[in-house]
Structure formats: structure tokens, C-alpha cells
Amino acid sequence: MDTMLQRQGQNGISRWVKAAAALCLLVMLLAAPVLAQEATLTVRVRKQFGYNMGSQIQGQFLIKATGPADLAAVTFTIDGATLGEVTTAPFELSFQTGAYALGWHTLGATGLTAGGQTLEAKELRFEFVPASGAAKGALSILAPILVVVFGGMLVMFVVPLLRKDKGRGAEAPINGVLGGTVCPKCGRPFGLHLWALNVSLVGKYDRCPHCGKWSFVRRTSPEVLEAAAAAMTAAAEAEAAAVAPVTDEEQRRKKQLDDSRYL
């Protein structure tokens, strides 16, 4: 009986030991990512002035390191040589690409915590390019934008110039986003167009939708526009009244003539 009790006691103690070991292992596994995260040193490079496109850089840049709360000092390196050491936060250092040879370079950082732990940041690779290469790269970015902008301006200016639809001004508003004006050629009002060429001290070079002619015009007051619109309407009514009306007798004779064609 005593032997059986001893064995049961030993088995119980063994189970407790195994459970405690499993619990310790679980705690260590859960704590490991946290410790690894706190002991990480990260380095980044940011442009202050110059050019950067992907891995190509030129000009003045800032290299910055971030790490655990007890980070005490950071030594920045370029191609393994010391670029500079910073002992106070923020841990950052400015450098010029022109101070180094053109081509590929490796930037890195080594940190030291208050507890004496040394941290190594993942290195970054950049190609230092000349100013001419930076200008060419910037031009390759700006060229499509400039083509779109100036191409749009050219289309907006040339298309109205080539149009031959004068006389349709009655459909156009006499006022617009930019205001309205009166054509100095025909005296009729129209709204200033967004595509009109703006010439300093002279006005806008715009096309009249009534007569189709181009002139330098300026924005006029609503009173002047209303007076010009009233005069235009009166002239159109007078022109319509001057046309001889067709009498009922003429219409009857025309109908008889049209009907006789089918006899």
C-alpha cells in the first residue's frame, strides 16, 4: 500500500512539473516577439532638397534611426565608414550626396542602448547620381505633365479659331463664369470664354459667337450687357417684321399647285 501511494505521489508531482514547464515555455514564446520588437533599430532616408526616384538620389538628404525607448546613441555609416554619431534624440543626420563618388552606396546605422545592448539596422542601398542625371530624371516626370497642360491649352485656343459656326451667338449666354462683354465688331453681347487668351493690360483675346471675329475685349457691367441684349433682341424683331407675311390666298394657291402634281 505504501509503495502504491508513493508512486501516485510521484506521478502527481511529475504532472505538476510538466505543466509548469509547458507554462514557462508558453510565456517565453509569447514574450519573444515583444522583446524582438523592442530591440529593433530601423533606419530611413528622407529628401531635404534635391532629387530622388526609386533608389536614385541626388542632393541633401536626412538619415534617421528609430529604436527602443532606451536608445542612447546611434552611429551612422556609409559603405562601412562612419558618417556621423548622434547621442541625443531625434537620432538623425544630414548628408550631401555630392560629397561622395557617384554610383552605388550602402547606408547603415548601429545603435547602443542605455543597458549596453548593440543594435544593427538593416542596410539601405542607393545610387548617387549627378545633377545632370537628376535634371533628366525630373524632366522625364514633368514632360508628360507639361505636354498634357500645354496641349490642352492649344486645343482650347485653336479649335474655336478653326470653327466656322458664326451666327450661332443667339444660343450662347451673354454672361458666364468670367463675366460678359460686348463685341466691338458687331456690338452684340456674349459671355467670356474660359479658353480666351489673357493678355495683360490689353484684355482677353476672345472670339464673338455672333460674327465669328476675334477681338481684345474686357469684362463689362451687367447693365451694359442687358442694354446690348435688348438692342440685339429689338434688331432681331425688326428684321423678322420686315419680312413680308404670306397671305392666306397665297397659301391656298400654293396648296392647289402642290395637289395638281399628283393628278
C-alpha triplet 17, 20, 21: angle, nearest 5°: 85
Please write the tens of the pLDDT for every residue from 162-211: 555 444 555 567 777 888 999 999 999 999 888 788 887 788 888 888 88
Residue type, 34: V
For residue 125, what pLDDT is reported? 97
* Whole-number Å distance between alpha carbons of 186 and 137: 52
Q: Write down the domain spans for the chain.
A: 40-129, 134-162, 165-242
Give the closest residue to 90 by CA, choosing from 50, 43, 52: 43
pTM of the prediction?
Answer: 0.43
Domain 40-129 in CATH 2.60.40.10: yes
* Whole-number Å distance between alpha carbons of 224 and 213: 20
Chain CA centroid to CA 238, Å: 55
pLDDT at 35 over 50: no
pLDDT at 22 over 60: yes
pLDDT at 143 over 90: no
